[in-house]
Amino acid sequence: MGRRTARDAAFKALFWVDCTGGDPEGALSYLGDELACSGADMTFARDLVYGVLANQAQLDGIIANLSREWQVRRMPYVDRNVMRLALFEIVYRGDIPASVSANEAVELAKMYGGEESGRFVNGIIGQVAKDAQAYGREDGADHP
């Protein structure tokens, strides 16, 4: 199905792990079947989930610094997991253009979040995407 479906699966797995403390592999297995996500797309989803989980403290630190009025733990589950996912791509995955990660995050937030989720996520992720190198992205690339 493609990377959009893989991101959807990754987001849902992260959401589930965040809400329940459950096993990411169980969530990914279930979602792979539900969303017909397999092969390279499922590998991409798995890489995203485990990458976010391994770097969650740093990702949450970025979110906290940019959203001065909100504590990450008090943000809606959708918003914080969409942002974690996008930030992981922007900061740690130099093979993905920052603008693509930002756009995909806004779409996920609009689809699954509240009325203001798209704007909130765009505000945070957009700041990082504009200057990805300042947040640790080695190549700073914003092109395919």
**Are 82 and 127 found together in one domain?**
yes
C-alpha span between 88 and 26 (Å, rounded): 21
Whether the CB-CB separation of 105 and 125 falls below 8 Å is answered with yes
In a domain, 61, yes or no: yes
> Could you tell me the two tokens for 136?
């640790």
| pLDDT > 50? residue 140 | no
Q: Tell me the residue range of the domain where 63 lies.
A: 55-133
Residues contacting 138, CB < 8 A, separation 6+: 94
In a domain, 68, yes or no: yes
DSSP for residue 30 = H
In a domain, 45, yes or no: yes
In a domain, 140, yes or no: no
**Are 121 and 98 found together in one domain?**
yes
Q: pLDDT (tens digit, 9 = 90+) per residue, 62-97?
A: 999 999 778 899 999 999 999 999 999 999 998 999
In a domain, 107, yes or no: yes
- Determine the pLDDT at residue 15: 97
Q: What is the CATH number of the domain that holds 108?
A: 1.10.940.10
Q: How many domains does the chain have?
A: 2
Mean of per-residue pLDDT scores for the chain: 91
